[in-house]
Structures are given as structure tokens and as C-alpha cells.
């Protein structure tokens, strides 16, 4: 039986309810306020790239998302999550690959991110996508307090 490919597209403001639901269900994702989410689409602040993934087998159910701040040379991966029921299907890897393609097309020199030092799954995902550990920020995260690893992907 043929399994349809994962679909990834630019997210729109109409996707906000699903983006928020995926974020809230994903324990390791950054939990943003409604206004922070709205700012992704409507702020005049830093430009953002928001991607949403879904699986055709799941009747268009949104499976994951990624949000990155778009700069000239430096981009920053701000938030990424995959719904619990969709994990271990390569969705995170595909979202990161899409980000890398957009960044490369935008002439980015590097992408930076912070990740909880205990988030071994995310660290493996990022390393497998070509990110390297650059530094450690002590006490960066709260609830619970934890260090962050700063990772970088260079082009």
C-alpha cells in the first residue's frame, strides 16, 4: 500500500488554532502566548518563517510546525514541535530540511537555536541535520530550570 508523502507548506494565520494545539500538546516546545503566536504572522518586528506539516493519511490533520526568525546572514530556529501521535515518522527531520532549504535560498550564512540540554531526541535530530553544539547557556530555561545548548548550522 502506498503511503502518501508528508506535506509541508507555509503556515497562515488561519492555522493558529492547530499550531497552538500542537505546541500545547508537545512537552518540549516553547509555549507562547496567543499574542506571541499572532506576532508570527502580523508583527512588523523580525520577519518569520512558519511552516506546518500534515499527513495525507491523517485526513489533513496538522502534525507539526516550525517557526524561525529570518535575518540576513543569521536565522534563528525559535520553535519546533511534532504532535505526540505523529512522532518517529520523520516529520521533525522534514521540517528542519525545509527550513534549511528556505535559509539556503535566502542566502543565510547560519541558523542558530537553543535546546534544553536534557532534550536528547531534539539534540539527535539537530545533529543529524548538520547542527553542531556551539555553547552552553547556564540556567537559560525555567520551569524547570535548565541549561540550554546553543547549536549552529553553517552553510
Beta strand pairing call for 146-154 and 62-69: unpaired
Beta strand pairing call for 110-116 and 74-82: parallel
User: Active-site residue among 78, 94, 102, 114?
Assistant: 114
- 114: annotated active-site residue: yes
Q: Which own/partner pairs from 34-41 qualify as long-range (CB within 8 Å, at least 24 positions apart)?
A: 38/13, 40/11, 40/67, 41/11, 41/12, 41/13, 41/16
How far is the C-alpha of 151 from the C-alpha of 148, rounded, in Å? Answer: 9
- 126: annotated active-site residue: yes
User: Active-site residue among 126, 140, 141, 146?
Assistant: 126
> Active-site positions?
114, 126
Amino acid at each position: 500500500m502506498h503511503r502518501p508523502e508528508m506535506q509541508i507548506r507555509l503556515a497562515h494565520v488561519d492555522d493558529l488554532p492547530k499550531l497552538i494545539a500542537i505546541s500545547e500538546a508537545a512537552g518540549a516546545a516553547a509555549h507562547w502566548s496567543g499574542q506571541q503566536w499572532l506576532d508570527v504572522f502580523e508583527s512588523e518586528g523580525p520577519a518569520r518563517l512558519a511552516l506546518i506539516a500534515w499527513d495525507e493519511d491523517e485526513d489533513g490533520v496538522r502534525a507539526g510546525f516550525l517557526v524561525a526568525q529570518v535575518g540576513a546572514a543569521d536565522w534563528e530556529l525559535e520553535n519546533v514541535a511534532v504532535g505526540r501521535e505523529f512522532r518517529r515518522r520523520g516529520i521533525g527531520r522534514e521540517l528542519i530540511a525545509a527550513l534549511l532549504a528556505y535559509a539556503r535560498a535566502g542566502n543565510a550564512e547560519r541558523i542558530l537555536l537553543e535546546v534544553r540540554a536534557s532534550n536528547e531526541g531534539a539534540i539527535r535530530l539537530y545533529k543529524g541535520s548538520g547542527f553542531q553544539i556551539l555553547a552552553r547557556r547556564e540556567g537559560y530555561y525555567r520551569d524547570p530550570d535548565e541549561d540550554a545548548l546553543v547549536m549552529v548550522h553553517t552553510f
